[in-house]
Amino acid sequence: MRLSERCADNSVIINAKGSTKEEILNELVDTLCASYKLEHRDEIFDAVWKREQTRSTGIGCGLAVPHAKIDYVDRMCMVAATVEEGIDFDAMDNEPVHLLILIVSPGNTVGPHLKALSSVSRILANAEVRKDLIDSKNQVDFLDILGKAEDKYL
């Protein structure tokens, strides 16, 4: 699954402002709702936050992949954010998170959601790709780097 093709306009936040897990998730959900013209913002945030409370999606190496399945969306939606300073996200390796990819899928689907999570893991296992994405200067740069990584790793 090509993640770069799933991103809507203005779906990448370069150097997000949030300094806590809750603030950054709010920023991601706000961007998600604006980019995809979604309603039910609070319900979407609550689902993402509830998922995060059961187990952190900070998977290590500066990466977090918050995700949720939600009845309020009719298609998979994704947004990404870089955080120059890094934030505490209760990651498995206890290191700060600098790159986040939020994935929200319809509640009645399984395959595409799992494929997206698998693609994120495969592409972002490469430290150089993660660093290049974190160092992106704008959305076009971010999506170009992601697309080239997809060409190589998918």
Active site residues: 67
Beta bridge partners of 102: 79
| Pairing status of strand 97-106 against strand 58-60 | unpaired
C-alpha separations of 37 from 30, 73, 92 in Å: 10, 10, 33
Positive or negative: CA dihedral 97, 77, 49, 113 = negative
